[in-house]
Amino acid sequence: MITREDVEHVAVLSQMKLKEQDYILFTKQLEEMLKFVEKLKEVNTDDIEPTASVIPLKNVVREDIMAASFDRDIALMNAPDKDFGHFKIPKIME
Partner 1 sequence: MNYTGLKALELAKLIREKQITSKEVTMGFIERIKQKNVKLNAFVNEEFEGAIKTAENCDNILAIGGKELSPLFGVPIALKANMCSEGTKVTCCSKILENYISPYDATVVEKIKKAGMPILGKCNMDEFAMGSSTENSVNGPSLNPWDNSRIPGGSSGGSSVAVAAGLSPLALGSDTGGSIRQPAACCGVVGLKPTYGRVSRYGLVAFASSLDQIGPFSGDIEDNAALLEIIAGYDKRDSTSINKEVPAYSKYLNKSLKGMKIAMPKEYFIKGGLAPDVLEALNSSVEIFKKLGAEFEQVSLPHTEYCLATYYIIATAEASSNLARYDGVHYGYRKKDSKSLIEMMTKSRAEGFGNEVKRRIMLGTYVLSAGYYDAYYLKAQKVRTLIKRDFDRVFEKFDCVLTPTTPASAFKLGEKILDPIQMYLSDIFTISANLAGVPAISLPCGLSDNKLPVGLQLIGKPFMEGELFTLAHAFEKAYGWKNTVNTEV
Binding site for partner 1 (CB under 8 A): 6-7, 9-11, 13-19, 22, 25-26, 29-30, 32-34, 36-43, 45, 48-55, 57, 60, 62, 70, 74-75, 77-81, 87, 89-92
Looking at the Cβ atoms of 1 and 54, the one nearer to partner 1 is: 54
Cβ–Cβ under 8 Å, residues 5 and 29 = no
Angle ∠(82,86,92) on CA atoms, nearest 5 = 80
Q: In the bound complex, what is the minimum distance in angstroms from residue 87's beta carbon to partner 1?
A: 6
Cβ–Cβ under 8 Å, residues 29 and 37 = no
Q: In the bound complex, what is the minimum distance in angstroms from residue 35's beta carbon to partner 1?
A: 9
Q: How far apart are the first and last CA of the chain?
A: 41
Looking at the Cβ atoms of 54 and 66, the one nearer to partner 1 is: 54
The DSSP symbol for 92 reads S
